[in-house]
Structure 1
Amino acid sequence: MSESSSLLNRMLDKVEKVGNKLPDPAVMFFGLLVIVWVFSFLLSGVQFDAVHPLTGEDVEVNNLLSGAAMADFLANMVNTFMSFAPLGVVLVAMLGVGVAERSGFINVAIKLMLNVTPKLMLTPVLILIAIVSHTAVDAGYVLVIPLGGVIFYAAGRHPLAGIAAAFAGVSGGFSANFVPSAIDPLIQGFTESSAQILDPSIQLNPLNNYYFTAMSSVIVVLVGWYLTDRVIEPRLSNTPIDGDQEDMPALDDVTPRDRKAFYLGVLTMVLGLVALFFAANAENTPLADSTGELASFSAPLMQMIVPLIFLLFILPGIVHGYVSGNFASSQDVIGAMTKSMEDMAYYMVMAFFCALFIKAFGDSNLGILLSVKGATFLSSLQLSGGVTMVGIILLVAFINLFVGSASAKWALISPIFVPMLMQLGYSPDLTQAAYRVGDSTSNIITPLLPYFPLVVLYCQRYVKGTGIGSLVALMLPFTVSLLVLWSAFLVIYWMLGIPLGIQANYMYPAG
Structure 2
Amino acid sequence: MANGAAGLNTELQNQKGILKWIETVGNKLPHPFMLFIILCGVLMVVSAILSAMNLSVIHPGKGEAVAVKNLLSVEGIHWILTSMLKNFVEFPALGLVLAMTLGIGLAEKVGLLTTVLRKMMSHVPTAIVSYAVVFVGVLGNLASDAAMVIIPPLGGLVFLAMGRHPIAGFAAGMAGVSSGFTANLFIAGTDALLSGISTSVAQTIDANAHVTPVDNWFFMSSSVFILAFIGGWITDKVIEPRLGTFKGDTSVQFDELTPQENKALRVTGLVALLFIAVLAVLVVPEGALLRDPKTGDFLTSPFLKGIIPIILLFFVTISFVYGKVMGLIKTSKDMPHYMSEAIKDMSGFIVLAFTAAQFIAFFNWSNIGILMAVNGAEFMKSIGLTGLPIVIGFTLFTGICSLFITSGSALWAILAPVFMPMLMLLDYSPAFIQVAYRIADSATNTISPVNPYLPLILAFYQKYNKNAGMGTIFATMTPYALVFLVIWIIQMAIWYFLDLPVGPGVYPR
| Larger RCO of the pair (alpha carbons < 8 Å, separation 6+) | 1
Query: Residue 301 of structure 1 corresponds to which residue in structure 2?
Result: 303
Do the aligned residues in 1 keep the contact of 2:16 with 2:242 (CA within 8 Å)? yes
Do the aligned residues in 1 keep the contact of 2:56 with 2:371 (CA within 8 Å)? no
- RMSD across aligned C-alpha pairs, in angstroms? 1.6
Query: Residue 4 of structure 2 corresponds to which residue in structure 1?
Result: none
After superposition, the C-alpha distances for 1:438-482 in whole angstroms (9 at most, x for unaligned) are 101111112311112211211222222211101111111111211
Gaps spanning 5+ residues in structure 2: where? 1-7
Query: Residue 421 of structure 1 corresponds to which residue in structure 2?
Result: 423
| Deviation of 1:55 (Å) | 2.2
CA distance in 1, matches of 2:222, 2:271: 35
Matches within 5 A, 1:104-503: 104-238=111-245, 240-242=246-248, 249-282=252-285, 284-289=287-292, 290-296=294-300, 299-503=301-505
Aligned with residue 12 of structure 1, among 15, 19, 41 = 19
| Deviation of 1:49 (Å) | 6.2
Gaps spanning 5+ residues in structure 1: where? none
Do the aligned residues in 2 keep the contact of 1:397 with 1:438 (CA within 8 Å)? yes
After superposition, the C-alpha distances for 1:18-42 in whole angstroms (9 at most, x for unaligned) are 0101112222222221122111111
Letter in 1 for 2:476: L
After superposition, the C-alpha distances for 1:50-94 in whole angstroms (9 at most, x for unaligned) are 321122223310112111222122112222211112111111111
CA distance in 1, matches of 2:288, 2:92: 27
CA distance in 2, matches of 1:415, 1:241: 52
After superposition, the C-alpha distances for 1:91-129 in whole angstroms (9 at most, x for unaligned) are 111101111111111111111111221111211111111
Do the aligned residues in 2 keep the contact of 1:100 with 1:317 (CA within 8 Å)? yes
CA distance in 2, matches of 1:47, 1:199: 35
Do the aligned residues in 2 keep the contact of 1:287 with 1:300 (CA within 8 Å)? yes
- 3-state secondary structure, aligned to 1:50: strand
- 3-state secondary structure, aligned to 2:464: coil
| Deviation of 1:250 (Å) | 4.8
TM-score (norm 1): 0.95
Do the aligned residues in 2 keep the contact of 1:205 with 1:503 (CA within 8 Å)? no
* 412-421 or 456-465: bigger deviation: 456-465
CA distance in 2, matches of 1:294, 1:326: 38
**Matched residues, percent identical?**
36
After superposition, the C-alpha distances for 1:249-304 in whole angstroms (9 at most, x for unaligned) are 355331111111111112111111111111123553332222111222xx211221
- 3-state secondary structure, aligned to 1:483: helix
1:70 matched to 2:77:
yes
1:83 matched to 2:90:
yes
| Deviation of 1:325 (Å) | 2.7
Do the aligned residues in 2 keep the contact of 1:204 with 1:504 (CA within 8 Å)? no
| Deviation of 1:222 (Å) | 1.3
Aligned with residue 34 of structure 1, among 6, 28, 41 = 41
CA distance in 1, matches of 2:412, 2:248: 42
Do the aligned residues in 1 keep the contact of 2:56 with 2:67 (CA within 8 Å)? no
After superposition, the C-alpha distances for 1:185-222 in whole angstroms (9 at most, x for unaligned) are 10111111111111122112121111111111122111
- Aligned residues between the structures: 501
Do the aligned residues in 2 keep the contact of 1:52 with 1:58 (CA within 8 Å)? yes
Do the aligned residues in 2 keep the contact of 1:49 with 1:58 (CA within 8 Å)? yes
**Using a 3 Å threshold, how does the CA distance of structure 1 residues 53 and 389 change in structure 2: closer, same or farther?**
same
Query: Residue 99 of structure 1 corresponds to which residue in structure 2?
Result: 106
| Deviation of 1:505 (Å) | 4.3
| Deviation of 1:163 (Å) | 0.6
Query: Residue 57 of structure 1 corresponds to which residue in structure 2?
Result: 64
Do the aligned residues in 2 keep the contact of 1:51 with 1:58 (CA within 8 Å)? yes
After superposition, the C-alpha distances for 1:357-414 in whole angstroms (9 at most, x for unaligned) are 1111111110100110111111222213221121111111111111111001000010
**Using a 3 Å threshold, how does the CA distance of structure 1 residues 39 and 149 change in structure 2: closer, same or farther?**
same
Do the aligned residues in 2 keep the contact of 1:104 with 1:326 (CA within 8 Å)? no
- 3-state secondary structure, aligned to 2:208: coil
CA distance in 1, matches of 2:289, 2:356: 35
Letter in 1 for 2:140: S
- 3-state secondary structure, aligned to 1:442: helix
Do the aligned residues in 2 keep the contact of 1:280 with 1:287 (CA within 8 Å)? yes
| Deviation of 1:503 (Å) | 4.0
